[in-house]
């Protein structure tokens, strides 16, 4: 029976990348690459290398048998070595020849990370595509921009989506860059000296890594250094934080008092067990919640960097948790966010209501610029509008009405000019071009 939520509630295609069967398959793949490299270089008999490579798969080496051996010897990697050796008969004596456990484990982890990163990058591309579609669709949907939780000046919804798409692209590029440092393997022995591999140690390592499509690590101890893994988990946490930002914005925009957009809500979906009317943004809230897990996993990965001497085992147990958890949760979160963005519901009447809610106060900046352009001093214009805005707010009057009789304003602006200034839809600057440029660059 499953206990962890990543195995049930938040599971998906990524789970297969990190399950025990695939982990065993990757260990065996590394053992095969080592044997073939040694066979090609004359370190072990070619027939032994061929037999090891032929049997180094989960059809021959069963997970159940590995578990059975592990229960006896309490060492999971060595249990695999013994199980593979059993299948290889007399050639089994050359299995794992010269290698230490983490030659296999860390190299196999790179193979797993390669598959996991490919899955994440696919999700990122899909989400970016959904964001760019919404950016184009709503490039001219004028809405209220907010700073400090207050109405600022108008903008467009297209800008929100373009902004988020550009952030996803940056995270994609960070992950691509991290592949340069994480997709490495090693065959360097107990403390990294390669002593057990003899005079052809460098050739063995390169040949094995070439077969696996990895680069040899330049220098190692018994393990590949954990700054590499921490970098990847940090990028995953960064991506999760970006998703949290999107989700938090959607949650706020779905508040009853604002209600400009709402995440998709199924026909039979239930918002509350006691309040039938509730339409909670629970998918967005879930993304915000899970982002915290990824930040904590990144913190643990940072702690793993400072191992003692040429290694200790303090990284091992937690990596069995943080590696699959970070990838599985982010994979789930990206899929959920793509669903939310693609099905986001808009409420135009509320968007318009909120644009007009301040009774023209949000156009004070535009007025200040206009008055300055006509000859009034910038600071004088700022002070005039600050005082007028305070008065209009207290008296619940439209700022236009407050200013229409002001002699200083009428000296510089006609009634028609003043009226035009208060059209929110004409004060979005280059918003549409910004969106179009972003879509073009990011597509």
pLDDT for 16 beyond 80: yes
Q: Is 151 a catalytic residue?
A: no
Integer Cα distance of 323 and 301 in angstroms: 9
Phi, psi of 261 (to 5 degrees): -140, 165
Among 148, 273, 277, 414, the one annotated catalytic: 148
Average pLDDT over every residue of 202-217 = 98
Q: What is the pLDDT of residues 236-274, one digit of tens each?
A: 999 999 999 999 999 999 999 999 999 998 778 777 677
Q: Is 429 left (phi over 0), alpha (psi -120 to 50) or beta?
A: left
Structure tokens at 19: 């399950």
Q: What confidence tens digit (pLDDT) does each residue in 390-428 have?
A: 999 999 999 999 998 888 899 999 899 999 999 999 999
pLDDT at 221: 97
Q: Would you state the structure tokens that stand for residue 304, as one six-digit string?
A: 């793993």
> CA-CA distance, 431 to 256, in Å (whole number)?
27
Q: Please give the pLDDT value at position 3.
A: 83
* Residue tagged 């106060």 (tokens): 361
pLDDT of residue 395: 94
Closest CA to 225 of 313, 307, 112, 327: 307
Look up the pTM and report it: 0.94
Query: What does the pLDDT read at residue 353?
Result: 97
Write down the mean pLDDT value for the chain. Answer: 96
Other CB atoms within 10 A of residue 363 CB: 21
User: What does the DSSP 8-state code read for residue 254?
Assistant: T
The active-site residue out of 50, 96, 272, 282 is: 272
Annotated catalytic, 229?
no
Rounded Cα gap, residues 422 and 362, in angstroms: 9
For 129-163, the pLDDT digits (tens) are 999 999 999 999 999 999 999 999 999 999 999 99
- Cβ proximity of 30 and 61 under 8 Å: no
Residue ranges of domains in the chain, CATH in brackets: 1-97 (1.10.275.10), 110-264+278-357+427-443 (1.20.200.10), 361-421 (1.10.40.30)
Q: What's the pLDDT at 255?
A: 96
């Amino acid at each position: 029976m499953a206990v962890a939520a990543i195995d049930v509630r938040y599971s998906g295609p990524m789970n297969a990348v990190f399950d025990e069967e695939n982990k065993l398959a990757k260990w065996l793949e590394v053992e095969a690459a080592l044997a073939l490299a040694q066979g090609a270089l004359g370190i072990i008999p070619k027939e032994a290398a061929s037999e090891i490579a032929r049997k180094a798969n989960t059809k021959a080496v069963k997970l159940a048998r590995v578990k059975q051996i592990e229960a006896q010897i309490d060492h999971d990697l060595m249990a695999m070595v013994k199980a593979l050796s059993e299948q290889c008969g007399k050639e089994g004596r050359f299995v794992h020849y010269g290698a230490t456990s983490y030659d296999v484990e860390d190299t196999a982890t790179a193979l797993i990370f390669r598959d996991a990163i490919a899955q994440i990058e696919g999700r990122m591309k899909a989400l970016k595509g959904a964001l760019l579609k919404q950016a184009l669709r709503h490039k001219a949907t004028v809405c209220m921009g907010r700073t400090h939780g207050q109405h600022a000046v108008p903008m467009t919804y297209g800008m929100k989506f373009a902004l988020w798409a550009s952030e996803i692209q940056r995270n994609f590029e960070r992950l691509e860059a991290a592949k340069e440092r994480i997709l490495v393997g090693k065959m360097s022995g107990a403390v990294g000296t390669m002593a057990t591999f003899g005079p052809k140690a460098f050739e063995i390592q390169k040949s094995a890594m070439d077969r696996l499509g990895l680069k040899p690590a330049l220098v190692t101890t018994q393990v590949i250094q954990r700054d590499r893994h921490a970098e990847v988990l940090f990028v995953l946490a960064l991506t999760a934080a970006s998703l949290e930002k999107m989700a938090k914005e959607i949650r706020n925009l779905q508040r009853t008092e604002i209600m400009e957009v709402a995440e998709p809500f199924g026909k039979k979906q239930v918002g509350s067990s006691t309040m039938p009317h509730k339409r909670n943004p629970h998918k967005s809230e879930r993304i915000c919640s899970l982002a915290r897990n990824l930040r904590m996993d990144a913190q643990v990965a940072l702690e793993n960097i400072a191992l003692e001497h040429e290694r200790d085992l303090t990284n091992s147990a937690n990596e069995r948790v943080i590696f699959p958890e970070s990838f599985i949760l982010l994979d789930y979160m990206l899929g959920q966010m793509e669903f939310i963005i693609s099905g986001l519901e808009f409420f135009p009447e509320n968007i318009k209501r909120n644009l007009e809610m301040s009774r023209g106060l949000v156009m004070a900046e535009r007025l200040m610029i206009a008055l300055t352009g006509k000859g009034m001093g910038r600071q004088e214009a700022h002070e005039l509008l600050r005082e007028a805005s305070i008065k209009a707010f207290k008296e619940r009057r439209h700022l236009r009405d407050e200013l229409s009789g002001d002699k200083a304003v009428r000296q510089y602006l006609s009634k028609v000019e003043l009226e035009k200034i208060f059209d929110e839809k004409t004060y979005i600057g280059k918003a549409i071009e910004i969106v179009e440029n972003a879509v073009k660059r990011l597509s």
